[in-house]
């Protein structure tokens, strides 16, 4: 077995259960450089729960689900924020930190949900359903947020919908999240037809097969999964809610119906839990690597900019959500 080099070796202890020793030398040089660049440039790294363990556990300062990243972005005391996640997350951080530099290491790190709807689509929905409030998932562009009344994440969608005190809302763009929330509330929900390309691929048959192969396994599903998948699961919640469930309930054996890195990251904290790992990769999240985080910090790229007129309206929708 190849020994970890001495420099970032102490960090290897955190991830040794999910990164084989032979892979570590390929990471440690970038990790050392990133840690030094963060100090030099007064930068922090925010990483989503779907980032790979060498990013999530070794260079990130703040980790979490989309809601936590948005909340914690407001308290950042640094000149530069590097968003290890997808573009809409970087835009949200920029909306909340207009005077800071927000960097996304790869501009192509998108999201099938954000791609599924335009600002013009939202304006047409408003015309079609006059007076019905528009709740927009954070997995959207700033331009789409700017046309909305309030944002939500998978962690607070029900709360946001019910906070409006109306019998009917429009919820964009994730059809499955909208239908999963509709099943939990009396508020009528008008949905769009966007889907997450990662979660839409799970099926109820996958869960039945898993239960047969691993008797007693506890199944957790993200609410971007189709409603028939959520119905077969033992629990559904945001990435943070799934992680909290594992910490709280300590199931003997668990499966997370979500993106692949999530199990690795949670497994690091819970060596006593057996993780069964059928999962789907998010190609957008996987565009972020140690190498491009290092380049981002060194070369100040890619700096997120948002048209100020769009930004003011989009910020209102995000801040309204955060006030709940
Ligand atoms: P969370 O808000 O649950 O972290 O989800 C974000 C996401 O992109 C899920 O696919
Ligand atoms: Fe978008 Fe789905 Fe990837 Fe999340 S997992 S960033 S919703 S494509």
pLDDT digits (tens, 9 = 90+) for 207-244: 999 999 999 999 999 999 999 999 999 999 999 999 99
- Tell the residue nearest (CA) to atom 8 of ligand 2: 111
Convert the pLDDT of each residue in 41-52 to its tens digit.
Answer: 999 999 999 999
Answer yes or no: is pLDDT of 33 > 90. Answer: yes
Q: Of the residues 284, 286, 288, which should be mutated to test ligand 2's pocket, given the most ligand atoms within 8 Å of the CB?
A: 284
Could you tell me the distance, in angstroms and rounded to a whole number, from the CA of residue 196 to the centre of ligand 2? Answer: 5
CB 116 within 8 A of CB 65: no
Atom of ligand 2 nearest to the CA of 284: 3
22 token code pair: 């032979």
- Tell the residue nearest (CA) to atom 7 of ligand 2: 196
- 110 three-class SS: coil
Residues sharing a CB contact under 8 Å with residue 262, sequence separation 6 or more, in sequence order: 49, 50, 239, 242, 243, 256, 279
Average pLDDT over residues 127-151: 98
- Tell the residue nearest (CA) to atom 1 of ligand 2: 111
Atom of ligand 1 nearest to the CA of 138: 2
Could you tell me the distance, in angstroms and rounded to a whole number, from the CA of residue 19 to the centre of ligand 2? Answer: 24
Q: So what's the pLDDT on residue 7? A: 63
Answer yes or no: is pLDDT of 279 > 90. Answer: no
Q: So what's the pLDDT on residue 133? A: 98
Q: So what's the pLDDT on residue 1? A: 45
Could you tell me the distance, in angstroms and rounded to a whole number, from the CA of residue 62 to the centre of ligand 2? Answer: 19
Q: Of the residues 139, 175, 245, 280, which should be mutated to test ligand 1's pocket, given the most ligand atoms within 8 Å of the CB?
A: 139
Q: What is the DSSP letter of 280?
A: B
Q: So what's the pLDDT on residue 263? A: 96
Q: What is the pTM of this model?
A: 0.95
Answer yes or no: is pLDDT of 5 > 90. Answer: no
Atom of ligand 1 nearest to the CA of 65: 4
26 token code pair: 């390929």
Convert the pLDDT of each residue in 67-125 to its tens digit.
Answer: 999 899 888 999 999 999 999 999 999 999 999 999 999 999 999 999 999 999 999 99
Average pLDDT over residues 169-191: 98
Atom of ligand 1 nearest to the CA of 64: 4
Answer yes or no: is pLDDT of 6 > 60. Answer: no
Could you tell me the distance, in angstroms and rounded to a whole number, from the CA of residue 65 to the centre of ligand 1? Answer: 6
Average pLDDT over residues 191-206: 98
- Give the sign of the dihedral formed by CA 283, CA 89, CA 200, CA 108: negative
Could you tell me the distance, in angstroms and rounded to a whole number, from the CA of residue 197 to the centre of ligand 2? Answer: 7
Could you tell me the distance, in angstroms and rounded to a whole number, from the CA of residue 114 to the centre of ligand 2? Answer: 9
Give the separation between CA 18 and CA 151, rounded to whole angstroms. 35
Among the bound ligands, name the one nearest to the CA of residue 154.
Answer: 1
Host H or E run for residue 220? strand 218-221
Res. 8 pLDDT band, cuts 50 70 90:
confident
Residues within a 6 A CB radius of ligand 2: 86, 111-113, 139, 196-198, 224, 259, 282, 284-285
Longest dimension (CA), the chain: 65
Average pLDDT over residues 306-321: 97
């Amino acid at each position: 077995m190849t020994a970890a080099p001495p420099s970032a070796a102490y960090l290897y202890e955190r991830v040794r259960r999910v990164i084989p020793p032979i892979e570590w030398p390929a990471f440690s040089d970038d990790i050392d450089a990133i840690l030094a660049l963060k100090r030099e440039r007064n930068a922090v790294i925010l990483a989503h729960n779907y980032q790979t363990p060498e990013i999530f556990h070794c260079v990130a300062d703040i980790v979490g689900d989309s809601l936590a990243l948005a909340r914690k972005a407001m308290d950042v005391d640094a000149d530069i924020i590097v968003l290890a996640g997808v573009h809409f997350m970087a835009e949200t951080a920029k909306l909340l930190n207009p005077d800071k530099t927000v960097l996304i290491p790869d501009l192509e790190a998108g999201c099938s949900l954000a791609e599924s709807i335009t600002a013009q689509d939202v304006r047409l929905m408003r015309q079609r359903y006059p007076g019905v409030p528009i709740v927009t998932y954070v997995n959207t562009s700033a331009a789409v947020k700017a046309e909305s009344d309030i944002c939500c994440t998978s962690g607070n969608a029900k709360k946001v919908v019910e906070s409006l005190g109306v019998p009917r809302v429009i919820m964009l763009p994730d059809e499955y999240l909208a239908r999963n929330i509709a099943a939990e509330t009396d508020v009528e929900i008008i949905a769009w037809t966007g889907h997450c390309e990662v979660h839409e691929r799970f099926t109820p048959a996958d869960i039945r097969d898993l239960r047969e192969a691993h008797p007693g396994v506890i199944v957790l599903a993200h609410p971007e999964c189709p409603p028939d998948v959520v119905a077969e699961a033992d629990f559904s919640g945001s990435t943070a809610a799934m992680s909290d469930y594992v910490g709280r309930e300590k199931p003997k054996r668990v499966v997370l119906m979500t993106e692949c890195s999530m199990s690795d990251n949670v497994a690091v904290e819970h060596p006593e839990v057996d993780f069964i790992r059928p999962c789907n990769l998010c190609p957008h999240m996987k565009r972020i690597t140690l190498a491009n985080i290092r380049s981002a910090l060194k070369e100040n790229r890619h700096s997120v900019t948002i048209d100020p007129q769009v930004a003011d309206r989009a910020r209102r929708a995000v801040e309204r959500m955060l006030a709940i």
